[in-house]
Structure 1
């Protein structure tokens, strides 16, 4: 599997990591417990089995032209009742257009995940992967009521086989 993701500006990443830490400190599920070196707040735009020929270069050009992209966090939600706890993003016209352009680049790629497809995709940053809807109210109180803004600053791709990430344009100042 190959993903197409956008990573956060330092301030936005800090706000999400802060929510991760507060959830973990409260004994709730949290991505703070994931020690893998690729674990960081990100927005997934698409996932496919393999990139079509030339897609990596086209995605890099796309992200170099479109990023940084200002975003604002919305509410905390549990997707599908008993699944990921997420911080939803307000879907700006620019974010929606970038998402559609990524799907145009990946047209015909094998193994497209339908939940990322335009019309089905809910832009979000994950806080916990397995979460009960019954704990949502507590999670909202613990994670924080603020709705910070920031930017998506760089693209990356996660390779599910090697469990590594590679850059896809933009500028990631994280180091």
Structure 2
């Protein structure tokens, strides 16, 4: 399986990494503990078995991080689904035959922690909320390799 992911500019990336560190310092689950060298803050647009037919990705694209919330058992920062971001997701989803999730099921977010316990939300320090998605990559879930897309 391959993902299509958007990467944050340096300021937003740093803000998310500081939130990862805060969670880790509190003894809570955090993606700061994920040891794989490809681990970095990102927004996943879709996953698909092949990226053949992937349309061009127009970047940079405005990025606005929303509040910290839960998505299932994950702790995430919501990403504001601007019309441009929704259109990019729709174009990619339409171009890849088995892409998931479809537009009506996509919840744009940047993950802070997976398998987050309980229902209590920690008071995570705020950081910059506005910036840009500046690059794209794909992650192959079988080989665990990353390849730049833009």
TM-score (normalised: structure 2): 0.93
Is the Cα–Cα contact under 8 Å of residues 15 and 128 in structure 2 kept in the other structure?
Answer: no
Is the Cα–Cα contact under 8 Å of residues 20 and 127 in structure 1 kept in the other structure?
Answer: yes
Structure 2 match to 1:157: 138
Question: How many angstroms does 1:135 deviate by?
Answer: 2.7
Residue 135 of structure 1 aligns to a residue in which SS? coil
Structure 1 match to 2:70: 78
Following TM superposition, the consecutive aligned residue runs of length 4 or more in structure 1 with deviations greater than 3 angstroms are none
1:92 and 2:82 equivalent?
yes
Question: How many angstroms does 1:146 deviate by?
Answer: 4.3
Cα-Cα RMSD? 1.4
Structure 1 match to 2:102: 117
Rounded to whole Å, the distance in 2 between the matches of 1:95 and 1:133 is 31
> Relative to total residues, which structure has the larger helix share, 1 or 2?
1
Structure 2 match to 1:172: none
Question: How many angstroms does 1:147 deviate by?
Answer: 5.2
> Relative to total residues, which structure has the larger strand share, 1 or 2?
2
Rounded to whole Å, the distance in 2 between the matches of 1:95 and 1:68 is 11
Structure 1 match to 2:95: 105
Is the Cα–Cα contact under 8 Å of residues 72 and 147 in structure 1 kept in the other structure?
Answer: no
Rounded to whole Å, the distance in 1 between the matches of 2:67 and 2:118 is 14
Is the Cα–Cα contact under 8 Å of residues 73 and 88 in structure 1 kept in the other structure?
Answer: yes
Rounded to whole Å, the distance in 2 between the matches of 1:79 and 1:147 is 21
Structure 1 match to 2:37: 37
Residue 134 of structure 1 aligns to a residue in which SS? coil
Question: How many angstroms does 1:133 deviate by?
Answer: 4.5
1:9 and 2:1 equivalent?
no
Is the Cα–Cα contact under 8 Å of residues 140 and 146 in structure 2 kept in the other structure?
Answer: yes
